[in-house]
């Protein structure tokens, strides 16, 4: 199975990459800032294990340049984001090296290594023993075997220094390999490679049963297993070319930090807005339609917020009834947001707090707390 990028990949950023890169940019910056300000020597380590060329022919930044820009910004604030970029393919590596060199000259701490991520991972883990570590693993096909990936996290079993993961789990690869399970011409070697990625043959059963949702079920179960084995909270975001299409991959996020989980959800909601905007712009560029299909399909953020506010207020009320003591929102991220996790940004949650307050469900009104995640809700009725 090919593990490289096909022709044209580096000409211009494809739509799924718009979302992926927005997410990376918007999340890596606060991760570096929040963890780096408490870290020894203010040092944070970052690994982009499948870095590619670093920059598109169009001049847009790839994942490597996105991290280099974040590192450059943090450097001006006295934080060091020490970046490792790994790329296997010679041509891509040559271009990557040039991009990295430009930032090295400006004082950014970064190295580009030619080879397989598996060969570099231990070195990075060693260099990051005392430091917060963020792993971005973005292969075109299959990622590292689960034993290897979970093993890296088990070497760093504590909440501090933190270790987080953003990983591309290719749904195209899952669907393609899934096809081998029921085919008489199925390639056993390919199946075994995916067994290693999944940490067992369990995934084959979904395809053997001929379930139409097999690939999605496999992605969900993979996330649960990764979470258990690596000791992480794992959430997974499907990413498609356009609305209504099957996802090309899931972005799998893993953290041990309640703050990480909260900030990631807010970031997903904001990155999705950017993706919609780009989708609409590209459609304007390519088609002369009376009504853009994007604008017809794009959910109105106002309508989503209008539905989310009472739902989240209800979740908050239930939480207070159960806990019967003050609760800090960040400690209950998934319970607070429920099905709106990754769908709505922080201001919507603040509105939900205000609604619950108005309804008499809490004396806390959420006013004055800069970060919504830090709001502490007290139980009991509003004081008269
Ligand atoms: C999807 S592309 C990377 C895109 C890049 N992360 C971005 O967002 O700009 C995957 C890259 O991984 C490289 N690659 C494939 N297998 C690899 C391995 N085992 N170790 C390191 N790089 C690998 C491929 O050559 C390709 O350039």
The pairing of strands 376-377 and 327-328 is antiparallel
Q: What is the pLDDT of residues 301-318, one digit of tens each?
A: 889 999 999 999 999 999
Nearest CA to ligand 1 atom 6: 51
285 has pLDDT over 70: no
Cβ neighbours around 289 below 10 Å, total: 12
Closest residue CA from atom 16 of ligand 1? 3
Closest CA to 45 of 132, 151, 168: 132
Task: Give pLDDT tens digits for 210-221.
Answer: 999 999 999 999
Q: Is the peptide bond between 161 and the residue preceding it cis, with omega within 30 degrees of 0?
A: yes
Domain layout of the chain by residue ranges: 15-281, 289-377
Strand partners for 140: none
Range in 24-33, 203-212, 285-294 the model is least confident about: 285-294
Distance 22 CA to ligand 1 centre (A): 18
Higher pLDDT, 11 or 232: 232
- 262/167 Cα distance (integer angstroms): 18
Kindly list the protein residues whose Cβ atom lies closer than 6 A to any atom of ligand 1.
3-5, 17, 49-52, 62-63, 86-89, 92, 116-117, 138-140
pTM as predicted: 0.94
Quote the Cα angle for 123-128-134, to 5°.
100
Question: What is the reported pLDDT for 244?
Answer: 82
C-alpha angle 187-189-190 in degrees, rounded to nearest 5: 70
**Mutational test site, ligand 1, from 87, 90, 149, max ligand atoms within 8 Å of CB:** 87
Question: Could you tell me what percent of the chain has a pLDDT over 90?
Answer: 84
- Mutational test site, ligand 1, from 51, 60, 114, max ligand atoms within 8 Å of CB: 51
**Ligand 1: which atom is nearest the Cα of residue 5?**
26
Contact status, residue 83 vs residue 48, Cβ threshold 8 Å? yes
Per-residue pLDDT, 381: 76
Q: Which pLDDT does position 288 carry in this prediction?
A: 46
CA of 51 to the centre of ligand 1 (A): 5
Interhelix angle 258-286/15-36, nearest 10 degrees: 150
15-281 topology per CATH: Rossmann fold (3.40.50)
Atom number in ligand 1 closest to CA 52: 27
The pLDDT assigned to 289 comes to 47
149 phi, psi to nearest 5 deg: -65, -50
pLDDT category at 296 given cuts 50, 70, 90 is: low
Q: How many CA atoms lie within 13 A of 264 on its CB side?
A: 23
Residue 88 dihedral angles phi and psi, to the nearest 5°: -85, -40
Query: Are residues 17 and 129 in contact, defined by beta-carbon separation less than 8 angstroms?
Result: no
pLDDT tens per residue, range 75-102: 999 999 999 999 999 999 999 999 999 9
Are 365 and 353 in contact by the 8 Å Cβ rule? The answer is yes
pLDDT of residue 286: 58
């Amino acid at each position: 199975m090919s593990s490289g990028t096909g022709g044209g990949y580096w000409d211009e950023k494809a739509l799924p990459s718009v979302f992926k890169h927005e997410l990376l940019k918007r999340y890596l910056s606060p991760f570096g800032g929040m963890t780096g300000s408490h870290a020894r020597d203010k040092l944070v380590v970052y690994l982009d294990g499948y870095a590619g060329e670093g920059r598109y022919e169009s001049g847009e930044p790839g994942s490597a340049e996105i991290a280099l820009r974040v590192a450059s910004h943090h450097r001006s604030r006295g934080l060091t984001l020490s970046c490792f970029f790994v790329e296997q393919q010679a041509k891509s590596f040559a271009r990557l090296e040039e991009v990295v060199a430009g930032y090295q000259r400006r004082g950014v701490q970064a190295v580009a290594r030619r080879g397989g991520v598996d060969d570099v991972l231990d070195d990075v883990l060693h260099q990051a023993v005392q430091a917060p570590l963020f792993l971005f693993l973005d292969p075109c096909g299959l990622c590292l075997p689960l034993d290897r990936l979970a093993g890296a996290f088990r070497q760093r079993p504590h909440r501090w220094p933190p270790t987080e993961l953003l990983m591309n789990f290719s749904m195209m690869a899952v669907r393609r390999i899934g096809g081998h399970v029921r085919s008489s011409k199925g390639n056993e070697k390919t199946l075994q490679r995916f067994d290693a990625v999944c940490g067992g043959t369990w995934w084959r059963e979904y395809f053997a049963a001929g379930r139409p949702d097999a690939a999605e079920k496999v992605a969900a179960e993979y996330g649960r297993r990764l979470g258990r084995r690596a000791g992480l909270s794992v959430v997974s975001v499907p990413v498609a070319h356009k609305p209504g299409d099957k996802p090309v991959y899931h972005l799998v996020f893993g953290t041990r930090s309640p703050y990480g989980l909260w900030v990631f959800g807010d970031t997903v909601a904001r990155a999705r807005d950017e993706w919609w905007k780009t989708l609409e712009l590209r459609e304007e560029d390519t088609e002369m339609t009376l009504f853009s299909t994007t604008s017809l399909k794009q959910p109105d953020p106002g309508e989503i917020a209008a539905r989310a506010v009472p739902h989240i207020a209800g979740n908050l009320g239930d939480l207070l009834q159960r806990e019967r003591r003050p609760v800090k929102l960040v400690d209950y991220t998934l319970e607070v947001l429920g099905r709106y996790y990754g769908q709505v940004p922080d201001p919507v949650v603040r509105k939900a707090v205000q609604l619950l307050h108005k309804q008499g469900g809490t004396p806390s009104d959420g006013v004055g707390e800069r970060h919504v995640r830090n709001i502490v809700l007290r139980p009991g009725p509003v004081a008269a």
